[in-house]
Amino acid sequence: MCGRLSQYRGIHDFVAVLSIPDALINHVGDQPLAHYNAPPTTQLALLHLEDDGLHADLQRWSWRPHWATDRAAPINARVEKVAHGPFFRAIWPHRAICPIDNWFEWTDAGDGTRQPWLIRRRDRRPVLCAAIGQFPIGTAVPRDDDGFVIITADSAGGMVDIHDRRPVVLSPELALEWLDPATPKERAEQMVLLQGEDSDVFEWYRVDKALNNARNQGAELIAKIT
């Protein structure tokens, strides 16, 4: 988890759920993002809070420290280790939210293929995924190794039947606290360890196997099949 996701709404639709009164510093644009089947390394909209307000930037979905050239850049970070392990130490203080519409997981279809499942909030509101990353702060110039990872935790309830891991999804209130640079690192760790949304907030259903090809895009990929 999670290896593919959708981010197709416009950035203002994602930001509206946070109810932040200040103006958005928008480097993403006003058009729908239109990522129905986004694989790792896609440039996705990422939200982070600075002194001058909420920033929306396009950032690569993957990151690794400069010294870890012997491995592929991960896209996720396990919540059990992220705050204290050496791999993510440099970016643990740099908190962000990756707002998405849904994510995908796969099960064995029984015929040698994989069956994709879409997972989203039952209320259809944006899914606010806790993330950390390396991204420009203030007037800093973007770097080639900028990027972010989504924090994941064990699945629970019926979601375990689809996959044993899931993103740590925060309520809008907790997402604002997570984004606030003044929130102590100890409090941030408590939030992602203990206060992610419960599995009963979500629903999941099968979608067409055309989703298995990461080159395929379009709204038809998120339609429910029976």
Interhelix angle 172-179/185-194, nearest 10 degrees = 150
Pick the CATH number of 5-222 from 3.40.50.80, 3.90.76.10, 3.90.1680.10, 3.30.450.20: 3.90.1680.10
Measuring CA to CA, how many Å separate 17 from each of 48, 128, 134, 186? 15, 9, 24, 25
Catalytic residue among 50, 98, 105, 186: 105
Note the pLDDT tens digit of each residue in 163-190. 778 999 999 999 999 999 999 999 999 9
Task: Choose between 217 and 159: higher pLDDT.
Answer: 217
According to the model, what pLDDT value does residue 154 have? 85
2 classed as catalytic: yes
Q: What is the pLDDT, as a whole number, of residue 113? A: 92
Check residue 61 and report its DSSP letter. Answer: B
Angle at 121 between CA 209 and CA 194, to 5 degrees: 115
Instruction: Provide the pLDDT for residue 158.
Output: 62
The length of the chain is 226
Given this model, what pLDDT does residue 172 score?
Answer: 97
Read off φ and ψ for residue 189, nearest 5 degrees.
-65, -40
**105 among known catalytic residues:** yes
Interstrand relation of 53-60 and 24-26 (parallel, antiparallel or unpaired): parallel
pTM to 2 decimal places = 0.94
HSE of 32, CA atoms in CB hemisphere, 13 A: 10
pLDDT of 3 strictly over 60: yes
Res 60: pLDDT:
97
The pLDDT > 90 percentage for the chain reads 81
* 8 Å CB contact between 130 and 94: no
Active-site hit among 2, 80, 186, 197: 2
